[in-house]
Structure 1
Amino acid sequence: MSKKNGSSPALTEMPTWYAPKEKISFGKMIYDKKNGTYFGRTPKSWGQLMLFYIIFYIILAGLFATCMQGLFSALNDKTPLRQLKDSLIGTNPGLGFRPLSEETERGSVIQFDTKKPDEGQYWVSLLDDFLDSYSNRNGDKQSKICGFNSTHNSQQVCFVDIDSFGPCTKQNSYGYKNGRPCVFLKLNKIFGWEPQYYDDPQHLPDNMPIDLQEHIGNVSQLERQQIWVSCHGQHSNDKEKMGAINYYPSRGFAAYYYPFLNQPGYLSPLIAVQFEKPKVNEMVTVECRAWAKNIIYSGSNRDRMGSVVFQLYID
């Protein structure tokens, strides 16, 4: 290439990389007759690719089936794989209460006005729903009426008699119409857990309420096989405002309901606590605690164990 008379150099040849690409039509993209390709691949290439993915997914499905088979072989419909200390929930049952509102903004506050029937009916409806499964067990052949003197094997289910809750019944609106509300307590179910009872009046915890100690001393030796329950005002001013309370059918969860072994038809035992005369127009904070040698107690609001706290507010 030369430069003459100051003129610009002339391009004598076009670089290969600059050559414009051939435009490919949509039809040619589907099938290229010249190269014999479909969507850029020959039939042989497509066959190899399909064979690879077929083998790949067969192996993947085989591995998945083997893992699932191994998992299901370790599971049991009636017995959990991990129990007690090896389980996530451990060996310390929690104490719960009902009625508990589904409206999270209410928290653990049970509030109603005795002069406004709809407010009391709200809590009555919650208890009706909660006790519905217990009501439907009447006449169930799987259940047995148990007592401290009766014998039964571990696979039998002891009947929870809702007629044993004294005035805490549906017919009495659970006390929410006359300002004497009932709160039901229950322990969480833990498979295989068996309580260790405080059944010796001479060896009771020093911090156990005096009235509960006296109650244990007044019942027969056989009836001391219970997980005891006590409720009190959480703070000193709450104790003054709470008033008298009654427990139905007793102050404990009887021994014959334990252990829970996933028996068909099993329902957790209940204790109905009726507050006879809580102070009106005052917030009363109540703490209820379960008592057994192997129930660890913590009153911390952050890490509460073996107890439950709720508030009563009657307008």
Structure 2
Amino acid sequence: MSVASPSTEVPRVNPQKRNILIRRISRAPWWLLVLALLIIWFALSVHDKHPYPTVFRAVKQGVVTTIWVSLVAYAVALILGLIVALLRRSSNFIVYQMVTLYVEAVRGIPTLVLVYYMALAFIPKVVSLGNDLGEQLMTYRLVLPVLGTITFHSLGTWMAEFQIRDVDNAYRAIIGLSISYSAFLSEIYRAGIESVSQGQIEAAKSLGMTRWQTMRLIVLPQAFRVVLPPLGNDFIAMLKESSLVSVLGVQDITRRGQTYAASTFTFFQVYNVVALTYLVLTLTLSLAVKTMEWYLDRGKQREAD
């Protein structure tokens, strides 16, 4: 008499999970792996071939300058762009029109032209006006009932003797880049602020919040999550456009490469290294921005899957 063995059920494969796995594999950054392997292969193949070791050392000295200029200029642009975005929401007609004029005018000027203008035209003019004002302050006296006579001789002397050459070209370039990007960042801020629903603003007003409290506690925290990825992408653009400071003699990556290539006529090797250096920097930042976007959108991705 045979005993029937219990039937073993084979678990069925969920086709939906299989499709999700295939979709994730197809979306993986395989291009990044290929590009990283090519960069590593190139670096290993030329690291001991003349003149690449010398070029790498020369360009490496400009990496710190490039990163420093980009960080400082972008930090200033972030603050200035936020101020401009908030002023564009002002109910004052004159303030709105003046700030809008600033944004449209700056956005219509190429970054290189603006860097030249700030470094060679605007800043020298401001220094010249400061010299004239300093000469007037040297002989100016302010008489107050309690404090007596106040002189501005020391301040006037400093302003009168201040020279254009005292303003480093790196700071001139930073001012130009900051003003150029502040106009674009203000539009990103404005889009993020407007993404917050009007109902939340009305609810905050009904609770007795002031306009500043509503902006600080309700609008800006939500807008920050929206504008964070575009701000990261704009920093990558700022890093690349920081090469424009080389036209003012700032010793960044591009300028270091130009100097070495002009003295040795090894343009092919030098600009291979310059391009590779910028590519590594921008790819690293792009990967960081992608990671940040994935972290912010992980909830939406689960719903889509």
Q: TM-score range by the shorter chain?
A: under 0.3
The normalised TM-score by structure 1 is 0.24
The normalised TM-score by structure 2 is 0.25
Q: Name the structure with the higher helix share.
A: 2
The structure with more radius of gyration: 1
Q: Name the structure with the higher strand share.
A: 1
Structure number with greater CO (CA < 8 Å, separation at least 6) is 2
